[in-house]
Structure 1
Amino acid sequence: MTDPHLRAVISERRQLINLAYRLLGSLAEAEDVVQETYARWYALTEQQRRGITTPAAWLTTVAGRICLDLLGSARARRERYVGEWIPEPVPDRSEFGGHRSADPADRVTLDESISMAFLVVLDSMTPAERVAFVLHDVFRYSFIEVAEIVGRSPAACRQLASSARRRIRSTPQPSKTEHAAVVRDFKRAWETSDIEALIGLLDPQAIATADSGGLALAFREPIIGGAQIATAWLAIAARAATVELLERTVNGQPGLVALVDDAIVSVYAFDIADGRITRIWAIRNPEKLRRWTTLDS
């Protein structure tokens, strides 16, 4: 017999992908979570499915719990990861000629809750803090609903979200136009090997972090200091004269991609405050660039 909830269940896929990506920082893992969530739905008997009043709430609860379990085991997995770990970058497909509607990246809403800076802060939280905060502050679930997923009391979930909220930077963020202008100036200075311009664009305490997973050439430890980053970036330019830099949206914010022989080999995300770059995230791990390397540039 046809599932009477089929349309409602299928329509939740976008919401589940958005939730799981923000919780895990990985589109590949988010897709696995959604598939497992649907598998559990269809493992129910017809009578059990008919007894569920709100399929969307059931699916969110299951997906949230799966993510919570994965976050709990993430520390052990990170210990085996080579070098620094950065969330998987998401492209804005409207900027590219190619389009694959089956890709979960197409279902991720590019708003401020997906910026690399935001995801990196989320990654510093405990699993329970992250789930409580994202569900309540980003997706507007009540603490009663959050408690059902996290397995704690509503009051405890309120405290978790409050603790997580204190980690989020409250300083004003530049507009996308201002952000893009700084990134464009950085690109120009990098291409022309203008070290003075690079240093001027970087906060003196700026931090640059690279993620290669041991699968590509990259610096293993974060580089701290504007002058040190500028020197390192000019060394990168000197070693790779054939690199082409393009301005592209990375996780909803202006960023850069680097191409070698028309293939994207690096994606750069930036955090900016007071007109200067405070953080650079360089994603080099080819496994995290699969959704980029298949796009037309």
Structure 2
Amino acid sequence: MDELTGEFEAERGHLLAVARRMLGSRSEAEDAVQETWLRFSGALSDPEQRARVRDLRGWLITTCSRICLDVLRSARVRREAYPGQWLPEPVVTTVPAADGFAPDPAERAVRADQLGTALLVVLERLTPEQRVAFVLHDVFAVPFADVADVLAVTPEAARQLASRARRAVHAPDAPRHSADLAEQRRVLDAFAAAVESGELEQLVRVLAPDVVSIGDAGGHFPAGRRPVVGVESVGRLLLGLYGQAQRRGGLRGRPVLVDGTLGWQSEFFHRDGRPVRMVTSFAVHEGRITGVFNQLNPAKVGELPPLGPEAVWPPR
């Protein structure tokens, strides 16, 4: 059992990356990986059975993917009943030091494994089967024969599922994100200055013409039921949000990495006096913001540590 545990722990990080992309939820991904461990330890505890598995990573990914597929199919029903717009629970980490936008190779590899909220949002457009096919083949280079085994379809059908998913991910209305951290920081500095000015004309220069804004309040706070699209509509929405928060007092924030991309963790007061904790992530492409994603559902951000005394507005 110790040997099995060691083998599995060596693959846990990779499995978690696969499951997170499939499910869009870190907690659900962790549950899927734990279920994979239970099946692994139960099915391969006999040394003879373990010896028959020559590609352990392949066996684990196949098992984990089937678990994720079941979760995705049930999640579609839950999402349809979700109050308002849905965003994934954010994975929030600290921003590197001022000179840390050119990290060492090991850190760069870790960051490359991050997702970005924009991709997770686009993946929500896919069917469970399309999402599994796209993640396995396009992200993790799993051969279509193995993808077909997970989905219980032919390799050609698996290829078609991945192709349809690819078209949806790269659709013209999908938020685009291509900026490195240094460019993200420049754009967000300009965005913060524009928001602070309160001038719509200044803000729209930072936003892409087809920018989209999505807010997930989980029914706890008022929020639109549909994304807001278009530079002027999104600009007015954001100026109103931050302007009202500033007028109520207590607005503070700090830069953070949200799924590997630069964003903000902020706190302010709702108009009824309740404290609001919000995580905002951005998609940045060609020097402009293409997506603004506000996560303020307490069930998804409530476990984050509160802001310290160093938090200010605008975040820096």
1:256-293 C-alpha deviation (Å, 9 max, x unpaired):
221349x9811112223332222211111122224533
Could you tell me which residue of structure 2 aligns to residue 189 of structure 1?
194
Alpha-carbon distance in structure 1 between the residues aligned to 2:94 and 2:23: 21
1:159-201 deviation line (CA, Å, top 9, x unaligned): 2222222223387833332222111111122133232211221
CA gap 1:8/1:264 in 2 versus in 1, 3 angstroms = farther
Cα distance in 1 for partners of 2:168, 2:229 equals 21
Corresponding position of 1:287: 299
Output the CA distance in 2 between the equivalents of 1:245 and 1:213. Answer: 21
Q: In structure 1, how many angstroms separate the alpha carbons of the residues matched to 2:44 and 2:179? A: 51
C-alpha separation in 2, matches of 1:93 and 1:38: 30
Amino acid at match of 1:161: A
1:183 aligns to what SS in structure 2?
A: helix
Distance 1:293 1:215, change over 3 A: farther
Match of 2:263 in 1: 255
Match for residue 279 of structure 2?
267
Task: Please report how far the alpha carbon of residue 224 of structure 1 lies from its aligned counterpart in structure 2 after TM superposition.
Answer: 2.4
> 1:216–1:286: 8 Å Cα contact kept in structure 2?
no
Q: 1:105 matched to which residue of 2?
A: none
CA distance in 2: counterparts of 1:232 and 1:85, whole angstroms: 18
Output the CA distance in 1 between the equivalents of 2:62 and 2:252: 44
Do the aligned partners of residues 73 and 180 (structure 1) sit closer, same or farther apart at CA in structure 2, a change above 3 Å counting?
Answer: same
Normalised by the length of structure 2, the TM-score is 0.80
1:5-20 → structure 2 map (5 Å cutoff): 5-20=4-19
Which is worse superposed, 82-91 or 213-222?
A: 213-222
Q: CA deviation at 1:3?
A: 4.8
Q: Secondary structure at the match of 1:131?
A: helix
Displacement of 1:239: 2.4
Does 2:253 match 1:245? yes
Using the alignment, how far apart are the partners of 1:70 and 1:127 within structure 2?
A: 9
CA contact (8 A) 1:206 1:279 kept: yes
SS in 1 for 2:111: coil
1:139 maps onto 2:140 in alignment: yes
SS in 2 for 1:240: helix
- Give the match's secondary structure for 1:88: coil
One-letter identity of the residue aligned with 2:240: A
| Code of the aligned partner of 1:257 | Q
Distance 2:67 2:128 in 1: 11
Partner of 2:288: 276
Query: What is the aligned partner in structure 2 of residue 21 from structure 1?
Result: 20
Partner of 2:42: 43
In the alignment, what sits opposite 1:100? none
- Pairs within 5 Å for 1:124-273: 124-169=125-170, 173-241=178-246, 242-260=250-268, 265-273=277-285
Structure 1 pair 168/219, CA: closer, same or farther in 2 (3 Å)? closer
Q: CA RMSD in A?
A: 2.7
**Residue pair 2:177, 2:290 contacting (<8 A) in 1 also:** no
Ranges in structure 2 where 5+ consecutive residues have no aligned partner: 98-108, 270-274, 312-316
**8 Å CA contact 1:202, 1:276 repeated in 2:** yes
Secondary structure of 1:167's partner? helix
- Provide the secondary structure at the position in 2 that maps to 1:5: helix
How many positions carry a matched residue from both structures? Answer: 285
Q: 1:118 to 1:159 in 2, by over 3 A?
A: same
Q: Distance in 2 between matches of 1:152 and 1:88?
A: 31
Deviation at 1:217, TM superposition (A): 4.2
Do the aligned partners of 1:257 and 1:264 also contact (CA within 8 Å) in 2? no
Identical positions, percent = 36
Please say which of residues 155-164 and 78-87 is displaced more in the overlay.
155-164
Alignment partners' CA distance in 2, 1:288 and 1:140: 31
Change (3 A) 1:3 1:51: farther
The answer as to whether partners of 1:5 and 1:55 remain within 8 angstroms in 2 is no
Asked if structure 2 preserves the Cα contact closer than 8 Å seen for 1:8 and 1:56, the reply is no
Stretch moving more, 122-131 or 231-240 = 231-240
Provide the rounded CA distance (Å) in 1 between the counterparts of 2:166 and 2:44.
40
Q: 1:220 and 1:163 mapped to 2: Cα distance?
A: 27
